[in-house]
A = this chain, B = another copy of it.
């Protein structure tokens, strides 16, 4: 059994971590923190969790976290994460960081899209926690940067194509659609039910902070710098991301080549499922699970391939993937605590 703590447990990713970890066969939640909810019982904030976790929110103190746990999930805002993580590592605790602070390897890029990085030396050590790309590195790591929700969906949709050199890297357009829980639990006009419900919108077009994270990993896969268009949209639903990823096929690439690239790339992937030929995945079929389901269509008229990628933004896009990373870091089965079927309807 590994003792785990959750720093910043009051939001939706915190809830999802508690939901998954409270049923995990090899993990025990020993501490939860929240500045805002300090002193309150978790079950009073979330009556849903009554009988599943009887902890009380505490102040996020590194020494106490390190004393109470072997591994800490940091579900904090960016900047707050890098304030606490170096201290945790110094105290010998492993960290899965759900913020953006350790995802970008280049401090200058981080600086351009976020703010000046305070511990750039740790960026080299941190492993980008996408198991399909970095499984072995994650196993040996003490600091895993859990990927963003959109990047998870877009990178997994593009990896087989870029890695096999089937598409023009400069042609990639990722049109992504997310449920509202991705915006977090904070109240604002933008998440007011009546402003979201029955409407659809694009936001942060050509300027969303997940762009450099996606480009970093696509560049690794392509073996050269990749610049893309990434457009996030808000869907009037609570959970789920669907990304529609367009790219131009190189000459001679056929539908069969594409099929084989996906099958080969994900042959051993526990949490990637490929749709039957002719079918495309829908967001509901992965809800509540750690799956990324993929389907694609080759359009001979335009010589483009269109990949459809679906995940649950809170599970595969955040807390489920974080638990998966913990599993790898602790030597457990990759799917320990993550084997329940998706929720439908």
Contacts and interface: CB of A to CB of B under 8 A. Distances in A.
Interface of A: 12, 15, 18-19, 22-23, 44, 46-53, 173, 175, 177, 179-181, 185, 187-189, 191-203, 205-206, 227-229, 231, 233, 235-240, 242, 244, 246, 273, 275-276, 279-289, 293, 297-299, 301-302, 304, 306, 308, 310, 339-345
Nearest to A274: B50
A176 to B, nearest CB: 10
A86 to B, nearest CB: 32
A205 to B, nearest CB: 5
A241 to B, nearest CB: 8
B297 A205 contact: yes
A345 to B, nearest CB: 4
Given A194-B345, A206-B301, A47 B201 contact: no
Contacts of A343: 19, 288, 343
Nearest to A182: B194
A18 to B, nearest CB: 7
Nearest to A241: B200
Nearest to A276: B44
Nearest to A201: B282
B342 A48 contact: yes
Contact of A193 (B191, B288, B341): B191
B193 A185 contact: no
27 contacts: A19-B341, A19-B343, A49-B341, A51-B273, A173-B173, A173-B304, A175-B246, A177-B233, A179-B200, A180-B197, A185-B189, A187-B191, A198-B238, A198-B240, A199-B237, A199-B287, A200-B237, A201-B284, A202-B242, A202-B280, A202-B306, A206-B297, A227-B302, A233-B242, A236-B236, A236-B237, A238-B345
Given A192-B185, A229-B302, A237-B198, A340 B340 contact: yes
Contacts of A302: 206, 227-229
Contact of A229 (B198, B229, B299, B308): B299
Contacts of A275: 47
A235 B242 CA distance: 11
A188 B203 CA distance: 21
Contacts of A49: 341-342
Nearest to A172: B302
Contact of A48 (B175, B339, B341): B341
Contacts of A281: 47
Given A47-B285, A187-B187, 6 more contacts: A15-B344, A19-B343, A48-B289, A173-B304, A197-B238, A343-B343
Contact of A345 (B239, B340, B342): B239
A197 B235 CA distance: 11
Contacts of A280: 201-203, 205
A47 B202 contact: no
Contacts of A53: 341
B345 A181 contact: yes
